Structure formats: structure tokens, C-alpha cells
Amino acid sequence: GEDVEQSLFLSVREGDSSVINCTYTDSSSTYLYWYKQEPGAGLQLLTYIFSNMDMKQDQRLTVLLNKKDKHLSLRIADTQTGDSAIYFCAESMGGGGADGLTFGKGTHLIIQP
């Protein structure tokens, strides 16, 4: 199966909170990441969490990490139309080094007015 799994689509109403979930497999990952890709653009590093933390908050973004279950989530408070994008969860393979990141298939966040 895939190393990193996430749902392909999430639809939320403008102003509500969005929660995007991800499961990963490599317990040696030093960091876990969320990237954002807007239409026609590259991947923007949105936020990341160190593997020995269980929560990180950055303005409207909250990242939760459950190492036991290998579960990562991204919560976007007060979702706006500008948040419409594909959100990729990623883990570093082998704890870093030249192996790069393994990405999930991306969650398309759709905002309803």
C-alpha cells in the first residue's frame, strides 16, 4: 500500500474549520509536513512538526501528531476561499538524508460559499 495516505477530497463551508487527515508509515521521520499547492503553482511548505511534538499552532493552522497511531492532521480555522488548494502530507524517509520526502496523494480542499 501507499506509504502516506490521505483522503482525496474535502468540502467545507466558508468560515467553518477544515480538518485534513493523513496516516504515514515511517516511524523514523524526523519531521512531518504539510504542503499547499494552488492551481497552476508549485508546492509551498505550509507547516511542519517535529516528530517529538504532538501539537503545533501557527495562526489559523493547527497540526496534531499521534505517533502511536502514525496519524497527522491539519486543521484550518475560519476557512477562506483563498484556502482552496491541494494539501499534501509528507514524511521524510529514513529520518532525512538524500531520500527526500514521500508525499500522500493530496487532499483537494473545496470551499463552499
Partner 1 sequence: DTAVSQTPKYLVTQMGNDKSIKCEQNLGHDTMYWYKQDSKKFLKIMFSYNNKELIINETVPNRFSPKSPDKAHLNLHINSLELGDSAVYFCASSHGGEKLFFGSGTQLSVL
Pairing of strands 43-50, 85-92: unpaired
> Which of 21, 25, 30, 73: binder of partner 1 (CB under 8 A)?
30
> Which of 6, 26, 33, 111: binder of partner 1 (CB under 8 A)?
33
**What cell does 62 get?**
493547527
> Which of 45, 53, 77, 110: binder of partner 1 (CB under 8 A)?
45
CB of 48 to partner 1, least distance (A): 7
Pick the closest to residue 101 from 34, 14, 19 (CA basis). 34
- CA 72 to chain CA centroid, Å, is 7
Number of residues that bind partner 1 (CB under 8 A): 24
Residues written for the chain:
113
> Which residues is 26 bridged to in the sheet?
none
Q: Does 87 bind partner 1 (CB under 8 A)?
A: no
Q: Does 11 bind partner 1 (CB under 8 A)?
A: no
> Which of 7, 14, 15, 41: binder of partner 1 (CB under 8 A)?
41
Q: Does 92 bind partner 1 (CB under 8 A)?
A: yes
Q: What is the DSSP letter of 53?
A: -
